[in-house]
Amino acid sequence: MTVPGMTSNADRPAMHATTILTVRRNGAVAIGGDGQVSLGETVVKGDARKVRRLAGDKVICGFAGATADAFTLLERLDAKLEQYPGQLTRASVELAKDWRTDRYLRRLEAMIIVADKDVTLTLSGAGDVIEPELGVAAIGSGGDFARAAARALLAETDLGAADIVKKAMAIAASICVYTNESLTLETIDP
């Protein structure tokens, strides 16, 4: 039911919130996220921090989607990492099972990329736990642009993981109107 003078959720502008990219090369892994949050055609924040460290700084993650939903998932993932220390894949699978089967969690609208020294995974509410090809994964509004740029840079340059993330995110920001050049970057070095 719509209250007079109010709009329904379907009538509100869509929130476009991010681009997250991860690259793994020569034993190092880097995750970068832009800072732009847009509501419809309006930029409402330019310096949001969508990349975080978990598990005593041994795991890095980036999130796209509804911020409160993503924080809920990060808290759950952190708890799973405490339950299964040093086992990112196991903790991620357990989170994905909960996310898919729990009535509350099923409604959360977010995606997460997580990485530790050994593995990179993309997690979704559909129960997906995906290890990317070529060590490159991306999510969010400009994810396809960032992933394509990173794969090209991996194939054509000797740049390290962090430098590839920086350059690929800059390329994505030049193409995607929902991505800016305010970059948060976290790395795990070999």
- The distance from CA 190 to its chain's CA centroid, rounded to whole angstroms, is 22
* β-strand partners of 87: none
> Running DSSP on this structure, what letter comes out for residue 100?
H
- In 3D, which of 132, 131, 122 has the Cα closest to residue 65? 122
Cα distance between residue 190 and residue 184, in whole Å: 20
Do 163 and 156 meet the contact criterion of CB atoms below 8 Å apart? no
Environment class of 112 (CB within 10 Å of its CB; exposed 0-12, middle 13-18, buried 19+): buried
> Is residue 18 annotated as part of the catalytic site, yes or no?
yes
CB atoms under 10 Å from CB of 84, counted, come to 16
**List 2, 18, 22, 89, catalytic entry:** 18
Cβ pair 69, 124 in contact under 8 A: no
Cβ atoms within 10 Å, residue 161: 27
Catalytic residues: 18
